Structure 1
């Protein structure tokens, strides 16, 4: 056998053996779930998840499109500018209707390891202090759901 081939095969075997012993990481699409008990529930208001300014941009673009259908030359340019401004104002007003805060809850839970976790989420009247729950997900996507 080639004297350079033996060390390479040994290194490959070692790498495969160590790789097989490694703990698997979080799988794509997997959700972390932890058990906990509700310590406190405080009513709160949640901000809308609509993106600010989208209504004005959409209205402005629609206004430019409509303004471009009017007249020709300088008159068309003026109609496009007025359409953009008017559409932006109208779009912003329409968006304000949908940007109202919604009722929510700030829920403080204690995990089995004693760690306190606070989650803000839409109101769930089925939750109460002392109830055993699951914490699904993490970060901004975490939610408190009752154990079945």
Structure 2
């Protein structure tokens, strides 16, 4: 019965973590604005897309994945063995779980992105990387929108 409760707690921890990590990861989308960007003046330029290259935007690396993985691994390790063997299993489980939690968080929050090279109408060339959630191709006319905090996006 103790093993069942430990596994149930473990599953609950993992589920809560997945919801938290995926819900709290900030978006790098060209179509998603942060709360701070809403109702703020933003400057824009126009230009022509020179190139588009698919890239990978790395995921977040917060202590949350590590901590939850460590707790989950420790709980799982605590269900194994008895006496000092249980303690060793718990410590090793916590270490392995922490490592797995770190890797899992980064993988879950990793996104496909685009490196977009734009020749602005004034002749200057810029590059913006954002999530690959809109279709942009070489030759497209676009707007380059820049917020006061420096956040820049390419929009059609």
Greater relative CO, 1 or 2 (CA 8 Å, sep 6+): 2
> Which residue number in structure 2 is paired with residue 115 of structure 1?
124
Cα shift readout 1:31-81 (whole Å, capped 9, x = no counterpart): 522121114123131322322775444311222244456677634432321
> 1:104 aligned to 114, 133, 138, which one?
114
Contact 2:52–2:138 under 8 Å retained in 1: no
Q: Choose which of 64, 69, 81 in structure 2 pairs with 1:59.
A: 69
Q: Post-superposition, which runs of at least 4 consecutive aligned residues in structure 1 deviate over 6 A?
A: 69-72
Per-residue CA deviation, residues 77-109 of structure 1 (Å, 9 max, x unaligned), is 323212213323443554465365624132223
TM-score normalised per structure 2: 0.53
Q: CA separation of 1:133/1:97 partners in 2, compared to 1, >3 Å: closer, same or farther?
A: closer
Query: What is the TM-score with the length of structure 1 in the denominator?
Result: 0.55
Unaligned runs of 5+ in 1: 1-27
Give the superposed CA RMSD: 3.6
Distance 2:117 2:77 in 1: 50
| Distance across 1 between alignment mates of 2:45 and 2:92 | 57
Q: Within 5 Å, which residues of 2 pair with 1:1-148? A: 29=37, 30-51=40-61, 55-68=65-78, 74-92=84-102, 94-95=104-105, 97-98=107-108, 102-111=112-121, 113-123=122-132, 124-129=134-139, 131-137=141-147, 141-146=151-156
Which structure 2 residue ranges, 5 or more long, are not aligned? 1-35
